[in-house]
Structure 1
């Protein structure tokens, strides 16, 4: 390693460390405020550690109920996206049928349509079939996203065809090959897609705001603004509610950070 390479490595690490600290400051500030009684200064007057804000938030808002709704929607959405995207991707990657390339291009073209442009047609459709205002209306629009199909197809295209041919010689059909061979080999892609899908469903705000009116079905992204609007002149309680809402996402990141990094660097079937 040359002197220039070492210098570049040290500079890149310092820059990465500074960026990490920069992005951690809001999270640390949120946690400090959540453990500080309302009206008590954090800097200059000493730090007063207390769980009073958490007790007050949990007694005044159904945080766990909102989080439960978000968890149900996110888990079911993620499971269905992984199932349908992997099946569709396998069909586009390995099954040749008339119009497959055109159909795949149509799926990809859907990624160019802004989500806001589909809100009104989606609202009218859900209303006409009687699903508006239910958890199902939050799940169905997200289960057939073209991004998941694209990611899985790119991965499947990189898998050796010899595996499929050997399975066909043994008498395996399309479904068995997909289930017994392609799915186990595509765990990195499935993990990355699942994590991003879960976080996206958990953080979704615009569509739940339009489709949900019953408080019993409110997700955490809808409940938090409603709670915060009652404490516009305060800081500790809204920050405490945000800290509670951020716990699941932070846990997912800490537990699956390797898969998240692989998903960001993921290109086709090279990441195995």
Structure 2
């Protein structure tokens, strides 16, 4: 009762800081969004006005339908195919790998997992040249496989799912074995339903990472029609450097899938922050 009327200054400071950071992140996004609905003439001569005097769709129609040299719809489709396929492959590889490290017993398991975690110490950029040589050897240059397969066994994702599995009581496994279940049945019917929250978070990480990747697709793609949308936006910048409204329209189209995915998955993301949230005692 004594603390009921007391002002919590740390909480107020934290709230003000987060509010300021939200403004810093949101205002440029909103400005870019409304700018994409301005005409080029208004943007160049209208001074600084947040909202457009006249809302127009010409920027979107020009990008989506009237320009064969910048096939935005094709880029968007390529990115969707690549990101969805990569995410599905990540879920398969990561879930099975985490199950092996968490539930199975084999020689050298702890040492192998420690070595796997140690690889996180190296920056990913050091892998670009050997990874390109491997992709080129398989004939995957200018192919979606160059982005779908590499990175499927992300160490951080394996770590997250393994930690989640470690909080599931092993009595569940033993009860299933008594009923005659094998390891695959235990994984599919006992473990998999419980780890859905963390797998959704891994899906979010995998999809957004693949969708927003710029450096790697810029290296392995030189065919404009096969490019994903992120390096394609760089071409837009080169072609429409003097037309910011068109660039804003392209950028807004590019962020729509990740924005919608976050809105869908944020509940599961918060739920997975407690690694034992999927286990009811």
TM range (shorter): over 0.9
Q: TM-score, normalised by structure 1?
A: 0.93
Secondary structure of 2:136's partner?
A: helix
Alignment of 1:1-272 (within 5 A): 1-4=3-6, 6-40=8-42, 41=46, 43=48, 47-58=53-64, 59-60=66-67, 61-263=70-272, 266=273, 268-270=275-277, 272=279
For residue 14 of structure 1, report the CA deviation from its aligned partner: 3.9
Contact persistence 1:82–1:194 (CA under 8 A): yes
1:184-225 Cα offsets, whole Å, 9 max, x none, are 000111111111111001001111111112222100011111
1:1-35 Cα offsets, whole Å, 9 max, x none, are 54446554444334333322221101110111100
For residue 43 of structure 1, report the CA deviation from its aligned partner: 3.4
Structure 1 residues 111 and 84, CA gap change in structure 2 (3 angstroms): same
Q: What 5-or-longer segments of structure 1 have no aligned partner? A: none
Contact persistence 1:158–1:270 (CA under 8 A): no
For residue 144 of structure 1, report the CA deviation from its aligned partner: 1.3
Select between 9-18 and 237-246 the one with higher mean Cα deviation. Answer: 9-18
Structure 1 residues 162 and 226, CA gap change in structure 2 (3 angstroms): same
Contact persistence 2:197–2:269 (CA under 8 A): no
For residue 62 of structure 1, report the CA deviation from its aligned partner: 1.5
RMSD of aligned Cα (Å): 1.9
Contact persistence 1:53–1:240 (CA under 8 A): yes
Q: What 5-or-longer segments of structure 2 have no aligned partner? A: none
For residue 56 of structure 1, report the CA deviation from its aligned partner: 1.2
Contact persistence 1:90–1:153 (CA under 8 A): yes
Structure 1 residues 15 and 3, CA gap change in structure 2 (3 angstroms): farther
Secondary structure of 1:256's partner?
A: helix
Count of residues paired in the alignment: 270
Select between 4-13 and 108-117 the one with higher mean Cα deviation. Answer: 4-13
Structure 1 residues 92 and 17, CA gap change in structure 2 (3 angstroms): same
Q: TM-score, normalised by structure 2?
A: 0.90
For residue 257 of structure 1, report the CA deviation from its aligned partner: 1.9
Structure 1 residues 46 and 236, CA gap change in structure 2 (3 angstroms): closer
For residue 267 of structure 1, report the CA deviation from its aligned partner: 5.1
Cα distance between partner residues in 2 of 1:133 and 1:52: 32
Q: Give 1 or 2: higher helix fraction.
A: 1
Structure 1 residues 241 and 42, CA gap change in structure 2 (3 angstroms): farther
